[in-house]
Structure 1
Amino acid sequence: MEKIAFLGLGHMGEPMARQLLPAEAALTVWNRTPAKAEALAAEGATVATDPADAVREADVVITMLAGPDAVREIADAILPALRPGTYWVEMSTVGPDTVKELAGRVPDGVTLVDAPVMGSTDKAAAGRLGILAGGDAAGVEHVLARFGPVTRTGPLGSGAALKLVVNTAVIGGVALVAEAMKLADALGLDEATARDALAAGPLSGAVARAFATDVHFGSDLAVKDVSLATRTTELPAMEAVLRHFQAAAADPDVVHEDVSRAVTHIRRDS
């Protein structure tokens, strides 16, 4: 029986890990806050006491963490425990530079795959995420397919690179919708009328995301992703978007809430 370790049971990780429970595999999970693993344990997962314990016997290790610093910290813990033949699938949004850094650290015989996801918590729960898999993913594609359709993006790091492009466009679109609604507010337009008009135009997808409910992508994560993008190349429009989300993330009532809350913040305060 294949053994899978899943590390990181946050808003995305917990519903993703649950997709592996019906599989013909033994699932071990770990999370910094152990209470978040209780529901999965009740459904048959084994809960590890620490990251190294989680991966020691694993054939496939999956990490879904908040960002580069969290991934580096976990790497320090798990790299000495990974066995030759293990696949490490890094699914966090960390950018290609971090993936290349990790590739230089993995032990001989361990295969690193970068496979970030497209979609939010609703698609994670339904097993309908889009998986952007970079590197030698053939040996784990059957596992990744449990989360949703898999797109092979090219060499190692290309999945992380494409995810950065996708998230930059989505976050920028949400900020643009927020500013358009701020203009509608200033012009005294009815909110529903303005929103419906935008939703009928080319920004329809961004409008849907800007006003989404029952999904989660925190403003702090938007700041992290746009920061990764603007450090890569000159992006003047996204630098303005970054300032919007930095201001929203400075509000303790908004920082960890979905980016739809930042839309209200941008309309009101920016």
Structure 2
Amino acid sequence: MEKIAFLGLGHMGAPMARRLLSAGHPLTVWNRTAGKAAPLVREGARLAAGPAEAVRDADVVITMLTGPEAVCAVADAVVPGLRPGARWAEMSTVGPDVVRELAARLPEGVTLVDAPVTGSTDKAAAGRLGILAGGDADGLAHVLARFGAVTRTGPLGSGAALKLVVNTAVIGGVALVAEAMKLADALGLDEETARGALAGGHLGGAVGRAFATDVHFGSDLAVKDVVLATRAARLPAMEAVLAHYEAAAADPRIAHEDIARAAAHIRNTK
């Protein structure tokens, strides 16, 4: 089986890497905070001292990092060490511009696929993520399928673009539900009655996400994604939503907590 290097072992990366180990792939891991790799090392992964070492002998490289800055910083170390024939799946949420910048830096013979995911930690552990794969994913499809259902989105960068569209809808929907519930509070409505009415309507999915307790998508990451989206297009409603999430991310008690906590913050803001 292919030798895989997995870089980035946060809330999503760790369970995804574990699925590769369970499938029998020889796995090398790296994380900026090395301690987060310890459980995977105990399960059979090899810990690399840095990104360059991680990818040196890899057939497949997977990056699952926090955002554009982290991906570009890691790329500085990774790109020179990629061997001809290597395939790189960039699975972070970074937007299509960063994907194209990475592609322009790659040595000849290296294939890049943008393959961000939909779903959260529960689906990552169960192998039920949605994979939005842009570019020539043929050589990586069987690896990506370890994480969930693969959707081919089009040319390189299209997966990253679609991920911004999906996340914008989710983040905006959660904020809208929070404000609708704030209105219900102001009008003196029973909380469960209002929530049930919203859940039974067109915003049902967003209602579930706004009150979720078993997933993780931090408010700080929501800010990053909305910033990427509002740079790509004029989105007045999302610019207003961004202010809500920035306020939540500025609160150290919930900055890294799930956006459901940000929804509660929006609802309780005077």
TM-score band by shorter chain is over 0.9
Measured in 1, the distance between the counterparts of 2:14 and 2:23 equals: 16
Measured in 2, the distance between the counterparts of 1:260 and 1:202 equals: 19
Whether 1:190 aligns to 2:190 is yes
Map 1:101-112 onto structure 2 (within 5 A): 101-112=101-112
Deviation at 1:108, TM superposition (A): 1.1
Paired position in structure 2 for 1:73:
73
Deviation at 1:198, TM superposition (A): 0.7
Cα-to-partner distance string for 1:129-180 (whole Å, 9 max, x where unaligned): 0000000110010000000000011100000000000000000000000000
Secondary structure, aligned partner of 1:104: helix
Paired position in structure 2 for 1:53:
53
Measured in 1, the distance between the counterparts of 2:125 and 2:20 equals: 11
Deviation at 1:23, TM superposition (A): 2.1
CA contact (8 A) 1:134 1:155 kept: yes
Whether 1:95 aligns to 2:92 is no
Paired position in structure 2 for 1:235:
235
* Counterpart residue identity of residue 148, structure 1: G
Measured in 2, the distance between the counterparts of 1:108 and 1:40 equals: 32
Cα-to-partner distance string for 1:37-74 (whole Å, 9 max, x where unaligned): 11111111111111111100000000000000000000
CA contact (8 A) 1:21 1:27 kept: yes
Measured in 1, the distance between the counterparts of 2:253 and 2:91 equals: 28
Deviation at 1:32, TM superposition (A): 0.8
Paired position in structure 1 for 2:267:
267
Paired position in structure 2 for 1:62:
62
Whether 1:5 aligns to 2:8 is no
Secondary structure, aligned partner of 2:139: helix
Map 1:132-211 onto structure 2 (within 5 A): 132-211=132-211
Measured in 2, the distance between the counterparts of 1:2 and 1:199 equals: 45
CA contact (8 A) 1:2 1:24 kept: no
Secondary structure, aligned partner of 2:3: strand
Q: Normalized against structure 1, the TM-score is what?
A: 0.99
CA-based RMSD: 0.8
* Counterpart residue identity of residue 69, structure 1: E
* Counterpart residue identity of residue 201, structure 1: G
Q: Normalized against structure 2, the TM-score is what?
A: 0.99
CA contact (8 A) 1:87 1:111 kept: yes
Whether 1:128 aligns to 2:124 is no
Cα-to-partner distance string for 1:83-129 (whole Å, 9 max, x where unaligned): 01000110000000110111111111111100000101110011000
Cα-to-partner distance string for 1:7-62 (whole Å, 9 max, x where unaligned): 00000000111110122421111111111111111111111111111100000000
Paired position in structure 1 for 2:35:
35
* Counterpart residue identity of residue 251, structure 1: D
Paired position in structure 1 for 2:224:
224
Identity %: 77
* Counterpart residue identity of residue 264, structure 1: A
Structure 2 stretches lacking a partner, 5+ long: none
Measured in 1, the distance between the counterparts of 2:250 and 2:269 equals: 12
Question: Hey, which bits of structure 1, 4+ residues long, moved more than 3 A?
Answer: none
Measured in 1, the distance between the counterparts of 2:121 and 2:257 equals: 13
Whether 1:246 aligns to 2:246 is yes
Q: How many residues align?
A: 270
CA contact (8 A) 1:171 1:222 kept: yes
Deviation at 1:196, TM superposition (A): 1.1
Measured in 2, the distance between the counterparts of 1:109 and 1:23 equals: 27
Measured in 1, the distance between the counterparts of 2:25 and 2:268 equals: 49
Structure 1 stretches lacking a partner, 5+ long: none
